[in-house]
Amino acid sequence: MAVAIVVTKIERADASLVDNFNELGVATVHEAYGRRGLLASYMRPIYRPIHAVGTAVTCEVAPGDNWAM
């Protein structure tokens, strides 16, 4: 029997630090971060003029798991 572990208190980056990234391009941040974490090179934005910045939380679930995130 698998046991689900749910983490509800997630440490986030300070909002003022995140806001500083708003003026930077994705490529600049990607290269400064050691060229890690960017999407595949063939993927392109579907709406170009948008700028978005924020924190993200990744999760791992079993294949076919329909538990609402």
pLDDT, one tens digit per residue, over 18-39 is 888 888 887 788 888 887 767 7
| Mean predicted confidence (pLDDT) in 48-66 | 79
Residues 6+ apart with CB under 8 A from 32: none
Residue 31 is assigned to a structural domain of this protein: yes
Domain hosting residue 36, numbered range:
14-42
Is 27 within the bounds of a domain? yes
- Are 30 and 38 a contacting pair, CB within 8 Å? yes
Q: Is residue 37 part of a domain?
A: yes
Share of the chain above pLDDT 70, in %: 88
pLDDT score, position 66: 67
Rg (C-alpha) for the chain, rounded Å, is 16
The percent of the chain in helix, strand and coil, each rounded to the nearest 5, is: 25, 0, 75
Does any domain span residue 21? yes
24 in any annotated domain: yes
Average of per-residue pLDDT across 43-47: 77
For residue 36, being part of any structural domain is answered with yes
Tell me, what's the pLDDT at 68? 66
The number of C-alpha atoms within 13 Å of 41 and in the hemisphere containing its C-beta is 1
Amino acid (one-letter) located at 61 = V
The reported pLDDT for the residue numbered 14 is 92
Work out how many domains the chain is built from and give that number: 1
